Amino acid sequence: MGALCDFCGEQRSMVYCRSDAASLCLSCDRNVHSANALSRRHTRTLLCDRCVSQPAAVRCLEENTSLCQNCDWNEHGAASSAAGYKRQTINCYSGCPSSAELSRIWSFVMDIPAVAAETNCEEGISMMNINDSGTSNHCGAPEDSSLLDIASTTLMSDLSTGDKLKPLLGSSGDGMDLLPLTADLPARSVSMTAKAPCVTDKNMFNDGNAYEDFCVDDTDLTFENYEELFGTSHIQTEQLFDDAGIDSYFEMKEVVPADETNEQPKPMRPECSNVVSVDSGMSNPSAAADSTHCIPARQAISGISLSFSGLTGESSAGDFQDCGVSSMILMGEPPWHPPGPENSSAGGSRDSALTRYKEKKKRRKFDKKIRYASRKARADVRKRVKGRFVKAGEAYDYDPLSQT
């Protein structure tokens, strides 16, 4: 029995919420993080099996344990990066996933329902509203934006893009079939999905016009604000993960050693597997853009960003780092604007959408967090000259206490 839940103090804690700095059982995790939109954005991950106090960072495939960075280092030290040691990065999720979805996500870790039952959490979990059927919900995904926002997992050691990836890559093996385009999706919706870049015409990515409107610094479109911006429901969970469902994205993939070419062990290409190390893709544009390897960088980025919607808004930069995801991928307008009448009509709503976004951004910038109330209290009574603090006893032109 591990540490008890920080919230109920009764059940075994299983996940760690960085935003709350709390270890929670599955039931309380659901209850706490379904309270409001902000709490749903909290990113959580598994607890370290060793110290049971820190968020697990990697999954040791050899020992079948989840370890935080410290414990991982303590147990494996420098050998952790050596060839042969198989581990997998465990990143975080947000939203309010159901027990079944958690079970599928972390099937390589544990039998969630079993653990939930063991800890009497299943009752609480059963209250989760996400469609638990596990069947296709192309048109029936949850409406409350509590989509399972899951940071993907990254295979870290000794990977190659061998045959084991082919199921992910599709028959062509180039990744283009991974997420086939769904014809009936609205253009914007398509561009919001990982499917968007999977158009059949690969030349599209060689044409700079395809990304003319790719204003990375102007929007932070995510699952949660997409509907607010564009007034339509965003894509459904099952659409995101296509027919293979969520399983195909979080299924444990056998780690294979580096090939015999004596090349440095390479992490699995994010574009190919959606087990993503986004930064690697971003930091290595030449490789990412290599069309012979899966899909172009932009394609990967636009798709990957969808998996981290829970990390926007009030998420801090630290959150991004914690999850191994560059904050950059959380911003970015859907890069693909296919031709067609629906697109032209969407142009009219674009301005209003941008207006709404800017207004929201304007409001949001005032959400300043006060870390030390005592310092604020001190600053609130400090005398100033033209807004600047002045030494005690010196002349001032503004005294908050006198309100003059």
Partner DNA sequence: TGGCATTATGGGACCACATTCATTG
Partner DNA sequence: GTCAATGAATGTGGTCCCATAATGC
CB of 369 to DNA, least distance (A): 7
Residue given tokens 């009497």 in the structure block: 120
d(CA 216, CA 220) in angstroms, rounded, equals 8
Q: Rank residues 38 and 370 by Cβ distance to DNA and give the closer one.
A: 370
Q: Rank residues 36 and 371 by Cβ distance to DNA and give the closer one.
A: 371
CB of 15 to DNA, least distance (A): 25
CB of 379 to DNA, least distance (A): 4
Q: Rank residues 104 and 383 by Cβ distance to DNA and give the closer one.
A: 383
CB of 372 to DNA, least distance (A): 5
**Which tokens in the block code for residue 7?**
């919230």
Q: Are 153 and 88 in contact (CB under 8 A)?
A: yes
Q: Are 272 and 179 in contact (CB under 8 A)?
A: no
Q: Rank residues 59 and 383 by Cβ distance to DNA and give the closer one.
A: 383
63-73 core/surface letters (b: 16 or more CB in 10 A; e: else): eebbbbeebbe
Q: Rank residues 51 and 61 by Cβ distance to DNA and give the closer one.
A: 51
Interface contacts to DNA, rule CB under 7 A? 362, 365, 368-372, 374-376, 378-380, 382, 384, 386-392, 398, 400
CB of 202 to DNA, least distance (A): 33
Q: Rank residues 158 and 333 by Cβ distance to DNA and give the closer one.
A: 333
CA 226 to chain centre: 15
Q: Rank residues 339 and 362 by Cβ distance to DNA and give the closer one.
A: 362
Q: What values do phi and psi take at 168, rounded to 5?
A: -80, -30
CB of 219 to DNA, least distance (A): 13
User: Which candidate, 267, 290, 294, 291, places its Cα nearest to that of 279?
Assistant: 267
CB of 348 to DNA, least distance (A): 17
Element (H, E) at 343: helix 341-364
The secondary structure of 284-343 as a DSSP string is: -HHHHT-TTSSS-HHHHHHHHGGGGGGGSTT--HHHHHHTT--GGGG---------SHHH
Neighbouring-strand partners of residue 87: 60
Q: What is the 3-state composition of the chain as percent helix, strand, coil, each rounded to the nearest 5? A: 40, 10, 55
